[in-house]
Amino acid sequence: MNNEKRVLGLSRLGQYIKDFLVKESIDFNENEAEFEQILKKSEIENPWFTIENQKDALKQWSELLTVENINSWLQEYSESKTSKRVGLILAGNIPLVGFHDVISVILSNHIPLIKLSSKDRLMIPYLLKMWNEFSDSEMNFKYVERLENFDAVIATGSNNTARYLEYYFNNHLNIIRKNRTSVSVLKGDETPEELALLAKDIFQYFGLGCRNVTRIFIPEDFVIDRLFESFIAFQDIINHHKYANNYDYNRAIYLLNGDKFWDNNFVMLKEDNGLFSPLSVINFSRYTSLDEVKTFLSENEENIQCVVAKDELGIDSIYFGEAQNPQLNTYADNVDTMKFLEVI
């Protein structure tokens, strides 16, 4: 099967997802009814994967998967003439976070050996099944519990897990991804609309993704209340029991330790230089000059996935509200997966 059929099938999958998201369940055909059940089962198995969050992820993919987008992405790369077996150890912190690796391997003409995350084990197999059908030809991929007989590996895990993976796969070509997070730099004159978009970058997927903002840099005279005002649209997040448990726990710890923090009953702001913050907490720091911010970003580059800010600040950044909308040529840890797959 050539890539032309794969690309066409993948674009049909994108359209299928788009149609599914706007349809009423009473009008579902057999495949769509199965799709709906998978969303419901995924939420039961992993309460972080709410129907809303799964649909947000699906909507993003449906917009990316067009023939034009896929071909524009692939034109920068050469398809491998020899198929290799590529082990994929997928993450499961947010819905479909491992799907990009899967399609990258297949479109590079390699064979993915997929170790699904136990937190996200239903959606990817369903989408691959439908992609297979829409491509009108059999694609070669395999689900595994343990990686064996592979030529290369792409794995994502925590920093502790990554150390083990680096040791275990030391003799193989590999991409090993570690913990990362994202930050925002405010100039101070952001509009309420821009700050509302920043709130989306913070709270979407409960803040569990590496592209979620966990640290904000603000000018010395910035009024903290402006942030809380922009967060209001996400106040219902506290009604999710897992999020609420994290909020209650972290708040209790801060109170017991006598730590200073700002609280609006569903998220806390803490003046802290730490890049990573606990779930339900956003770290912030005040700066006197952008040079000190740029120095911090440079020194912590390997831990930062993306920076959310205005273009005019002169920082390599993305605009507010776009943190969870990566393009097909946006790669985790800024390591070009497709270039890696070209040379294995």
Strand segments, DSSP code E, in the chain are 85-89, 111-115, 142-143, 152-156, 173-177, 181-185, 213-219, 262-263, 268-271, 281-287, 304-308
pLDDT digits (tens, 9 = 90+) for 91-127: 999 999 999 999 999 999 999 999 999 999 999 999 9
* Paired sense of beta strands 181-185 and 268-271, if any: unpaired
Given a contact cutoff of 8 angstroms between Cβ atoms, the answer to whether 130 and 1 are in contact is: no
Given a contact cutoff of 8 angstroms between Cβ atoms, the answer to whether 113 and 144 are in contact is: yes
- Mean pLDDT across the chain, nearest whole number? 96
Average pLDDT of span 266-280: 98
Q: 181-313 maps to which CATH number?
A: 3.40.309.10
Rounded to the nearest angstrom, the gap between the alpha carbon of residue 150 and the centroid of all alpha carbons in its chain is 26
* Amino acid 341: pLDDT: 97
Domain 3-178 annotated CATH 3.40.50.410 = no
Rounded to the nearest angstrom, the gap between the alpha carbon of residue 283 and the centroid of all alpha carbons in its chain is 20
Going from N- to C-terminal start, the domains of the chain cover 3-178, 181-313
> Rounded to two decimals, what is the model's pTM?
0.95
The string of DSSP codes covering 21-37 is HHS-GGG--HHHHHHHH
| Residues above pLDDT 90, as percent of the chain | 94
In the chain, count H helices and then E strands. 12, 11
Average pLDDT of span 168-193: 96
Given a contact cutoff of 8 angstroms between Cβ atoms, the answer to whether 284 and 215 are in contact is: yes
Report residue 204 as tokens. Answer: 């979407």
